[in-house]
Structure 1
């Protein structure tokens, strides 16, 4: 008995101390901010600080449900969809696979936060990175929820809905083709390309573990993106927009940059753009095409998911392509209209 007890003690695995994850910290901060909103408003009686805290909470609360949806979908793809099924559905030719992935974004409503973990798991299941990245850019920009929101924000202007759809789809497809031609797998961290075993056992356990891991990783970078977005929102004076009304080129540049730094959710950015009545439609279109493709929040999520080496290459090219596609579609469709 004594020797048996000694063996049990010696062979017993040490219990790991439970660590507090970034998602738990985020949920606690949001809960405290919501419950103590009135107290915080009185205690932090600094207009800029109050504005920044409100924007931070708004960005995180707005994006978190879609982030959860994305990690659940990514876990389901990795655990329940065999790689052979995905390879059978997508065409073998890279160009055709990129086109199908771009159109697939129509069927899955979500924001950019949701598309990042899904694209990661598509890669892990053997889908070509060019097709996965095309889906990453298309899903938050061409789905029906975004298009309906755009139509409501711009009543009587169906050309804005069409221009946003075509500009965003073109951005996703062009980036997919560019990656297929010049992209390198060495830029993506190895963990993002890991494949799940296709065995029949333990799929629900694998689903829960994958979803939990993706949520913890992406949640921390969502908080970082929310902080950056809140800080930059406070630093941009609202009076600047009145000056841009008669400067079309300057308006395009400024709105493209603001789309990156404001980090709005794709389901809500149309209402923000429509509220800037002093600007023509073309800068607003650039804002709506660039925002879902690349912003500070999305850059942080991409860096955390695919690695910094990938993000510093992919993000600047995406910005240039998005602006170019928005202008190529917007000039013939809406021109300088207001």
Structure 2
């Protein structure tokens, strides 16, 4: 609190020079993108943190044994389909997945939920339908492709993943307290922990957004292969919340529907803020394996589903 108070005093004292410093067009764009990413993501991060705390404190381990199939291979698609009922974004799904693993859910199922929840929930699919009124097949393609990626990644982790690759931070705040105290302690911990990585990711996304010239987009759109790769990379760099990315994809009218579908599949699963949050919640060893594999699979599945549905 003392540091925050000192920073506020310094901002008041130096508000004139800071105002002139931020008056440049580039810095204004950076600030706009940075703030917009935070504003889009913050409500869903808070929602996810609250749900994560409920799972960690109030839901007994025996519930997950009854709710999910006993066989891990069947628990993965069941957890992926459970993402349909959670109206949240990737910022909220990361702490929820961490809590699911702590409550005894097999990591493969929790990771399938992490990928599916921000991509196939009703809010995201409705936003996609509104953004593409002339192409209702985009809604079906996005839902099918995202669910396939989530389930396949869960199965891959079940087959190839190792327990030591996931290192959840120690949570002493959940032990030795009443349920109410543990709930609020878990909320404070996750907001500070996940929120810090969200700020880092938002700052990186804003920096990339300012530095990439818009003229490059048109050149890339003319090549079918490069356009897919370009929008996949752009989805990672822009780090747009899954509830808003459909409108950005619709605005990229110079690109094909296939490349825009890849943008919508990759974005909720692999972006800068999500990568940084995964590193903070699950550890760097997890992130360096999981994020690249998800990125490659999302591109391949997006292109394949587009060839069938679009």
Q: TM-score, normalised by structure 1?
A: 0.85
Q: Which residue of 1 aligns with 2:245?
A: 269
Residue 49 of structure 1 deviates from its aligned partner by: 1.1
Measured in 1, the distance between the counterparts of 2:130 and 2:255 equals 18
Of the three residues 69, 81, 84, the one matched with 2:59 is 81
For these two proteins, the number of residue pairs brought into alignment is: 304
Of the three residues 265, 271, 293, the one matched with 1:317 is 293
Residue 241 of structure 1 deviates from its aligned partner by: 2.0
Measured in 1, the distance between the counterparts of 2:246 and 2:205 equals 17
Cα contact 2:56–2:100 (8 A) shared by 1: yes
Aligned pairs for 1:70-149 within 5 A? 70-149=48-127
Cα contact 1:124–1:193 (8 A) shared by 2: no
Cα contact 2:174–2:185 (8 A) shared by 1: no
Measured in 2, the distance between the counterparts of 1:193 and 1:203 equals 14
Of the three residues 276, 280, 293, the one matched with 1:300 is 276
Measured in 2, the distance between the counterparts of 1:307 and 1:68 equals 21
Measured in 2, the distance between the counterparts of 1:222 and 1:189 equals 19
Per the alignment, do residues 94 and 240 of structure 1 end up closer, same or farther by CA in structure 2, a change over 3 Å counting? same
Per the alignment, do residues 220 and 158 of structure 1 end up closer, same or farther by CA in structure 2, a change over 3 Å counting? same
Residue 235 of structure 1 deviates from its aligned partner by: 1.2
Per the alignment, do residues 56 and 115 of structure 1 end up closer, same or farther by CA in structure 2, a change over 3 Å counting? same
Q: Does 1:162 align with 2:140?
A: yes
Segments of 5+ residues of structure 1 without an aligned counterpart are: 1-17
Q: Deviation per CA, 1:158-197: give whole Å up to 9, x if none.
A: 1111100011001100110000001111011143699966
Measured in 1, the distance between the counterparts of 2:246 and 2:113 equals 21
Residue 277 of structure 1 deviates from its aligned partner by: 1.2
Measured in 2, the distance between the counterparts of 1:96 and 1:125 equals 18
RMSD (Å) for aligned C-alpha atoms:
2.3
Structure 1 moving runs of 4+ over 6 Å: 192-195
Cα contact 1:102–1:139 (8 A) shared by 2: yes
Residue 156 of structure 1 deviates from its aligned partner by: 2.1
SS of 2:169's equivalent in the other structure is helix
Measured in 1, the distance between the counterparts of 2:172 and 2:155 equals 23
Q: Which residue of 1 aligns with 2:33?
A: 55
Q: Which residue of 2 aligns with 1:329?
A: 305
Residue 215 of structure 1 deviates from its aligned partner by: 0.9
Per the alignment, do residues 41 and 265 of structure 1 end up closer, same or farther by CA in structure 2, a change over 3 Å counting? farther
SS of 1:292's equivalent in the other structure is coil
Of the three residues 215, 231, 240, the one matched with 1:255 is 231
SS of 1:81's equivalent in the other structure is coil
SS of 1:293's equivalent in the other structure is coil
Per the alignment, do residues 64 and 257 of structure 1 end up closer, same or farther by CA in structure 2, a change over 3 Å counting? same
Segments of 5+ residues of structure 2 without an aligned counterpart are: none
Q: Which residue of 2 aligns with 1:205?
A: 181
Measured in 1, the distance between the counterparts of 2:171 and 2:151 equals 21
